Structures are given as structure tokens and as C-alpha cells.
Structure 1
Amino acid sequence: MSALKLNKEGTEKPDLPVIGIFATCDPRIDEDSRIRAANIVKMAADQLTGVILTPAKEEVPVVYSDVLVDGEKQADLVAAQFKKAGVNVIICVPDTWAFPQLTVMSLLAHFPQEIPFNFTTGNSGPRPGVVFTHATGGALAQSGRLIHINVGSWDDTGLDPVMSEATKKELIDWCYAAVTIQALKGKRVVVFGHDSMGMETALPHVAATRNQFGIEITRLDMKLLADLLSRESYDKEELARLRSWLEEGSAGIELPEALDNDNLDKSLALYLIVRDLMKELNAVGGGFMSQLEWGSDARGIPLPVADIMESLFNSTFDHNGPKEVIPYATEADVQALLTQLFMTWLSGGNPPLFMDFRKVWEPSEIKEFAKAQNIELTGETSWEKKGFVDGVNSGSASFDWAALPGTDPKEILKKITFPKAVEYFSYLGNSVHFISPEGIKGIAARLAYSSLSGMFSMVWDETETVLPPEELAQAVCETANPTWPHTFVMPKHATMVEYKHYAPANHFHMTWNLNRARLQFWMDMANVLSVAPWAAKPDFEEGVDRPVPLLYLINGGEDQTKLMRKR
């Protein structure tokens, strides 16, 4: 027999994660109960099929086995089925009692210890799958294995029960976390330039990132970009289409001098060059070091700012129409990039917003500032009572954030201007400018790393965008940089004093329509410490937070357990 040579077909894009669903059962029960148990497996698979999407809007495959796992023989069979199908996310939907070691534990022995595993069960009295779930969940927790339990509900009787919407929602949140974990293993991000402006909070922790998340960080010298730009290594016809799209569709591009016209072309060409490089390397995210290496070191040859390029990567559209969000970090801030990458995948591809954690406006400061501007306030709005952060940065601001989620791209572009860059970048091209609307809800967060523990943490809170009256909003922009994008962010739980003292870095990042449970499930699976030290935040809010895994409860708490798992 000869070894099989693999063909080169289909190697362009790595495989997607595969979700596998099965059920355990008891060989002693009646036939109708067995039919019902098998039907529940298919029902759960149907509930998830076509629902879990990647940022490229690809449907994550869902497979199921109608072999009921009564004992070791069936456990081995289903494990073999799952392996053949490429399953790397496993869900068990038991409806009856079964025997833990003979079933789930035997099946899981075929897979890596860290494979995401979920029990979703109805709270049924007649055939107590929930009893089996607790018995097996306890055994797995005692063995040090992380799993999640979703004790939901479906009809107690009947051959074709349907899970409740609340049960389905929690399962979908868990699946997004599991898919994010598994999909990003083996992927790479591409970062141009060396350390980010000397910011220790932004360094590429290569080994730690590889070991904890399975993500590779490819670092390329910026000379390559300078050379490709100089050699005009891009499609000039496409460059013309990109420029025409911006000129005709946006609210205006400021080009006071001939040099500005040339710099705009170069900055747009940079997007095309980097896009093609990223595609060539199968990169899922990127970063670009502008200061000081690229364009603001007076000893070198000035090169155009990358603001438009970075914004385009983070947007859901460009001149070619709808596209996948490719999270991108200004200043080659790798921990910003990872934060955006994880939250984009967790949200199914929603655009991230990269911001400076700029001025924190406390209620008293807002009141005094408005008075100085002769602007009368009511004192009744949420942002007057709570305060807000002026999130502003020269790059990486997704175009989508100029409007509410779901707005047509043509309408979004009408809200964006491209003024000549000022301050540090006065001779280098155009910024991106808009003010985000109020009412965008999501999570703002920032990944951090500690050499003391060797662990990553996520500092986070639920947030919402607010918008003062136009005159006041513009005055606030003038206090920072009026040519950059501005998003006024109000945290849900943190006070302004807490928020401005507990920031882990000078940048923070928001993704819309991302909920707490989904982020928490991911932090469990990724073994990332959850940092939300806000006095007003409850430890657990039913229907909002994910239930705390039993593994944490029997090992001294979440942080303690995560530290032990790291060792």
C-alpha cells in the first residue's frame, strides 16, 4: 500500500469549526422516550443551523448523531463520527438519565481536554436529563474540566419538544464563544512596524498569544510597504474607483494644495497594498505603526497617514460593496488588535471601534463647560447625570460608527468628512471625521497582559453612545482634535471616577450588539481574567450573565480557578 498524497485543492481557506450535537440515553427506558431523545438532538441542531456566522458571514456547520449514547460502545461510535466530521465544539442535549462514566466521559476521552463542551437540557420531571447533567457536570468539574451547563426548558412530554427562546439564546451565546475560540486557533495577524510608540501596553506578546489563543503574530518591516508604494504595486484602475467612491459619496475631502492631492492617492493606495498582503497571508487582522516610524519622524521621508486605510479594514463595506470586517489597530497596538478581533468574532462580524481613552467628562465638568459655552442644559439626560468619555483617535474608526447599526452604506458615507490631518500629521494627508450617533449599545473593553501571572485580562463594561446637543458636541470635539472621529461613550456600571482610574491602557474598543454572557463564556474558554470592578455591577444578573461554571465554585472562585488552570 502506498501513502496517500494530498492534493493542493481547497487549501486557500482554513476549515471552519464544526459543532457536533448528540444525546445520551438509558437502555432500560421505553421506545417512545428513545424516539423523543433522538428527536431532541435533531431539534437542537435545527435551532443552530444557519444561525452561527463568522465575520465573513459564513454559516458554521452543525452536525448531529442520532445514535443515542447508552454506553461505551455508542460513545466510541459517536466520537468516531464526530472526528470524521471535523467536530471541535460539542453539545450534549440529554433528556433522560444515563450513566456518566459510560457515556459522556467515555466520549470526551477521545478529544482534547480543552475542547468546548456544553450540556443543554430541559428541566423535565418525567425523564430527568437534568439529573444526569448535574451528575456528569459534577464529575467533570471534580476532574478539573471546564464545561458549561444550560438548564433551560422544553416540553416535558411529547415526541417533538421545542426548546424555549431563552434556552436557545443562551446556547447561541455559548456557541459564538466556542466558535471564536476554535476558529482563531492557527490564524495569524499581520503587524507592520516595531513596538507601538514605546507603549508597553501594546506590545506583541508573541509566545503568550500563541500559547493562550493559538494565534500567530506575523511582523513585517514598514520598508516593504514604503517600497511597494514607491513601486506603485497596486491596481491603478481600482485606486481611481476607490477615490471616486469617496469623492462622490462622502461629505467632503479637504485638499488645499497639490501635495494633499498626491498624499490622498498614496494613502488610498496603501489600503489596496495592505489588503492584498493580508489576503496573501490569510490574515484575520492587522496593525500599522504610524508614529514615529512611518510618517512623523522629521529625519525621514514623510509618508501619508493610514487613517482611511485603517478605517476601511474595520468597516463592513468599501468601494467594492459589502465586505468582511478585518479588525485593524492603529499604532500597531497588538493588544488592541486582539481585543477587536475577539469581539468581532463574538458578535458575528460587527465592526469594532478603536478609540483613545481621551477626556473623561464627569457631570460637574459637563455642567461647567456648557455654562462657559452659554449652552443651557436640562440636567435630566443620562449623560448629564452619569458623564461620558470622549473616544477619539486619528485612525481605525470604522465608517459604520458614523451611523446607527443597519444604516445603508451610502447614507453612512454622507456623514463622513476627510479633513486635512493636523497637529502631529499636518503635512501627511487626510484624517477621517464623524461624530457617532446616540443609542448604540454594546461592550467597551480592553485586553491587558501581566508578566507577574503570565495571563491576559479583559477590562470591560456594557456601554452606550450618547450625543449632547450639536453645539456642545462640537465644542467638546474642539477640546481634543476636531478633525478626528468622536464617539461619546457612557458606561453602564462604572462611575467616571472608577472608569478613568481603572483603564489598563490609553486605548479602548467598543463593539455593538455584543452581550455580557457571550463575552463571559469566551473569557472562560480562553482562560482570560474578567476585570469589571465597578461597585454598581451585580455579580450575577439572571438572564444577562452566564451561569458561573461549577469548576469555579468548588475551587475558590473564578480568578483563583483561572490562575490554577494557567499553572
Structure 2
Amino acid sequence: MGIKIGLFSGYDPRPWVMKDHAEHDIAVLERLVATLEETGRYQVVWPGRQRSGWDRLCYTTQLAEAYAQELAQTEVVGVVNVHQTWTFPQTSQKVIANYAQLLKAKDATARPRLVLLSIQDTTVPGMVSGMATAGAYTQNGQSFCHVYGDFDDPVTLKELYAVLDMFDRRTKVEAQVREVVQGLHDVHAIEFGSFSLQMPTTRINQEELTKRWGITSESLDQQVFLDRAFSMFQWAGTPGRSAVKKILHPEVAEAVAKVYDAHPEKFSVISDRHTSRDKYALQVAMYIATRDIATERGASAVTIKCQDECSGQYATCCMATSFLGNDVDMNSRPKKVIPTSCETDMPTMYTQLFLHRLSGKPAGFGDFRYVKTDRRNKKEETVLAIVNCGQHPQYYAGREDDSLAEKQAATEYPGQEHFYAAGGAAVRMRTAGDQDVTVA
């Protein structure tokens, strides 16, 4: 039968409009319903189907209430609000407002999944009415998608189908999303440092998160993990600023041997940016220190302010941010994923946490830095660079199903002296194409 989709048209109730245009626009709805059902993918719940005359259009308050009731009772996956030749914003708004309240009566967290389908024709009011209705939904805080075009155009229909199929996918993961939301009370976040680079977008209202979801957090100075990292070495002079005489921590020694000593060329892939053995060892120690502190304090997620307290004095924190969020450490041992962001970016940290809990996989973090579309070839190719100064879980090297050895072979550690006074190694890799990636 396909997925169950609601459909209606909130219509202009003026008598002359009804007389001159209603029959035409009812025919438009009938063709659209038939087109959707002929795909075999959709079961259309059109409240007007069982009605006669103009009542096949929703043009009164009473009809709006009845339409909303039927959409709620049939438990549609999503609703298509159609704007053909003549439509009216308020009647559409009335249907969705009533429908939303009926959903909330059963489940306080429920929200309508809504798509507006508007005719793209400047000679009739339907397009403008669709825009005005969208404005009304926006004022009411109702989220929606909006598709414009000719209702018989395959391109328009393809766009509509994509939205409806997205609604279906959302329905299928709804139980999982609820489980994640209901488990937010067990989240505890650690912030090492605060308010990096004076960027307000990295801030979040932690008190509101605690009040609403039970999420707790604490802020620690970077020196807390630096002191622990320094204790993993015997230093020739000032800890963190002098040569390493001896590595005291076995995990650090193992990582240096397996990664640096076995593949020193990976740390010189950019000719003028070489990372020393001691610097990499300190970065590994910073990872171990933050990991252990997070474990001891029961942290679900971590964010680290690297600049300039660490990057300008001792080393960048890229090993920590990359491997905390990975499912395997640099010594090839499986580990718990602790979603981690750079520069105390709290919204990003929580986004990574949500993606991880939904997927069970590591979540990366980067900036949209570069997009290039090559149209010279027959096959159009677009390259999107999602980059950061150095933090990416190694999970994203190559293809998702590549072996650990293949991912490790595809990972490089270029130096960062060009950017940061203290330097350090980044974690650089290339993700293979033709894979589905969720970007949030």
C-alpha cells in the first residue's frame, strides 16, 4: 500500500472564487492524488475524497476541523498542503494548527511533518498564497518543506517524492530518536577551557540544558590535563617546553613506536612542516590524559580549548580531539567513543554526541572550507572539503568498511607550525567518494 500521506488544499472561500475556480482546482487535486498513488509508494489520505462538491476543498472552519481530525485519526506519516490556482493561508493554517494540537494530545512531543506544494505560476495567486502560508507557519513555529513547480512536471514530482520519503525515514527512526532524547539525563560534558577565540557561536546555555534535559557539565582548566600529560615523561628541563629524556607511560611509548618510529614520513608530508618525535609523544600524552579524566569523571562528551594556551605554548590538541571521538586508539585498541570538539565549541560537541548515539558510529567535526564543481567532464563532480585545523576521527579515512590497517595507512600527520607557535601534528585523511554521509 505504500506509506500513508495526508493531502489537502486550504481554499479561498469567497463565492466568486469558488464559482469560477473550485472545479478546476478539485480536478488538480484528483490528478495529483492519482499521480502519487500510481507510483505504488504512497497511500494518500485526502479528506475530500469521500466528500462531494466544493467540500473536496477545505474552505470553511468546520471543514478545517474535520480535515484535521481525519488526518490525525489515520496516523499519516506526513501532510502535503497543496496550493494550486486559488488558495487561502488561514484555512491551511487552521488545518495544520488543529492537526498539531490533536497530535500533541496523544504525545506532547509530536509535531506535524509538513510539505507545501505550490504552483510556480505568476499569473495566478496560488504561488503567492503558498508563500504567505509558509510565512504563517513560520510565525507559528511550524517547520515545513516547500516545493514549487508544475504539478505535472517530473522534476517537481521528484522533489516532492524526496520529501515524502524523508518523512518516511524520519518515522522509522522515531523510536530511536525518542530513546536518545529520553537518555539525555545521563549526559555529563567536560569543557577544558572556555570561550575560544571570542566566538559567541561556540557558547550554549548549560543551565537551560540542565533544567530541560538533565544534562550536566563542568569546566576545567587546560592545566588539569597538561599536568597529567607532563607527568608521563622525564624532562630535560621545563615540562612541556624541553626535550624528553624518557617516556614513562607505556601507552605513549607504544604509540610513538607504532606510529612515529614506524612511519616517520607521515609527519613530514608537508615539506616545511615537520613534527618532532617529542612533540608527537606529548600530543599522545594529552590524549591519554583527557581520556582518563573524562573516564574518571563520567563524561559523555568533551570539548577542548586548544588556542592559545596549548597550541601557543606546548602542542596542539589534535590527537586528543581526533582519537577521543574515534572507536580505536592510536595503538589499534578498540575504545569507547567520547565525542569531542575543538575550541570549546559546545553546540558542535552536543551535535556529535547526538549523531553518535543515533548511529552508534564516530561523528566528525569540521568547517565547510571549500566547494568546487567541475562541469567540464560529462560526469559533473563536486568536491566538498570539510576541514578543521586537525581534528577528525580516523574512522573517516577511506571507505567506512575498510580495515583498520587500511584506514591507518591512509592517515597522515602533517605538522602545524605554520599555524601555531608550539606546533604539533594534525590528523589528515581522505574520505572516499560514493558514500552516504550525514551532515548536521
Letter in 1 for 2:250: E
Aligned to 1:413: 408
Given the alignment of the two structures, is residue 244 of structure 1 paired with residue 257 of structure 2, yes or no?
yes
| Distance 1:185-1:250 versus aligned 2 partners, 3 A rule | farther
Counterpart CA distance in 2 for 1:245 and 1:259 is 16
Within 5 Å, give how 1:496-507 maps onto structure 2.
Answer: none
Distance 1:242 1:196, change over 3 A: same
Aligned to 1:310: 321
* Other-structure match for 2:310: 294
Counterpart of 1:378?
A: 377
1:260 aligns with 2:255: no
Structure 2 counterpart SS, 1:353: coil
Aligned: 1:189 with 2:201: no
Letter matched to residue 354 of structure 1: F
Cα shift readout 1:115-135 (whole Å, capped 9, x = no counterpart):
xxxx9999xxxxxxxxxxxxx
Residues 143-182 of structure 1 mapped to structure 2, 5 A cutoff? 145-147=108-110, 173-182=173-182
TM-fit CA distance, 1:235: 6.4
| Letter aligned with residue 336 of structure 1 | T
Task: Report the alpha carbon displacement of residue 381 of structure 1 after superposing the two structures with TM.
Answer: 2.3
- Aligned residues of 1:250 and 1:417 also touching (Cα < 8 A): no
CA separation of 1:332 and 1:395: change in aligned 2, threshold 3 A: farther
Q: Spell out the pairing of 1:125-524 with structure 2 (5 A cutoff).
A: 141-142=104-105, 145-147=108-110, 173-232=173-232, 236-247=249-260, 252-254=265-267, 260-296=276-312, 302-318=313-329, 319-347=331-359, 349-361=360-372, 363=373, 366=374, 377-383=376-382, 388-425=383-420, 427-445=422-440
State how far apart, in whole Å, the 2-side matches of 1:170 and 1:203 are: 29
Label 1:257 to 1:139 Cα distance change in 2 as closer, same or farther (>3 A).
Answer: closer
One-letter code of the match for 1:437? A
The CA deviation string for residues 24-63 of structure 1, in whole angstroms up to 9 with x for no partner, is xxxxxxxxxxxxxxxxxxxxxxxxxxxxxxxxxxxxxxxx
Letter in 2 for 1:242: A
Report 1:61-140 matches (<5 A): none
How far did residue 333 of structure 1 move? 0.7
Report if aligned partners of 1:354, 1:395 keep a CA contact under 8 Å in 2.
no
* 1:274 CA drift (Å): 0.7
1:178-210 C-alpha deviation (Å, 9 max, x unpaired): 121122213211110121211100014211222
Alignment correspondent of 1:164: none
Amino acid at match of 2:377: T
1:250, distance to aligned residue in structure 2 (A): 6.0
Structure 2 contact 273–418 (Cα < 8 Å) conserved: no
Kept in 1, the 8 Å contact 2:273–2:416? The answer is no
Counterparts in 2 of 1:239 and 1:246: CA distance versus 1, 3 Å: same
Shift of the 403–248 alpha-carbon distance from structure 1 to 2, 3 Å rule, reads: farther
1:503 maps to: none
* Larger CA Rg, structure 1 vs 2: 2
Among the aligned pairs, what percent are the same residue? 20
- Cα distance in 2 for residues equivalent to 1:303 and 1:317: 25
> Which secondary structure state, in structure 2, belongs to the residue aligned with residue 270 of structure 1?
helix
Distance 1:120 1:294, change over 3 A: farther
| TM, length-normalised to structure 2 | 0.56
- For 2:435 and 2:333, how far apart are their aligned partners in 1? 23
TM-score normalised by length of structure 1: 0.44
C-alpha RMSD of matched pairs (Å): 3.6
One-letter code aligned to 2:203:
L
Gaps (5+ residues) in structure 1?
1-118, 123-136, 151-167, 297-301, 368-376, 446-567
On the 8 A contact 2:397/2:432 being kept in 1, the answer is yes
Q: Distance in 1 between matches of 2:379 and 2:436?
A: 20
CA contact (8 A) 2:256 2:277 kept: no
Determine the C-alpha separation between the residues in 2 that align with 1:190 and 1:335: 13
Q: Judging changes above 3 Å, is the alpha-carbon distance between structure 1 residues 144 and 354 closer, same or farther for their aligned structure 2 residues?
A: closer
- Judging by fraction of residues, say which structure has more helix: 2
Query: Residue type of the partner of 1:218?
Result: E
- In the TM superposition, what whole-angstrom CA distance separates every residue of 1:57-94 from its partner, at most 9, and x where no partner exists? xxxxxxxxxxxxxxxxxxxxxxxxxxxxxxxxxxxxxx
- How far apart in 1 are the matches of 2:265 and 2:213? 42
Q: CA deviation at 1:409?
A: 1.0
Tell me the distance in 1 between the aligned counterparts of 2:407 and 2:262.
Answer: 9
C-alpha separation in 2, matches of 1:259 and 1:403: 24
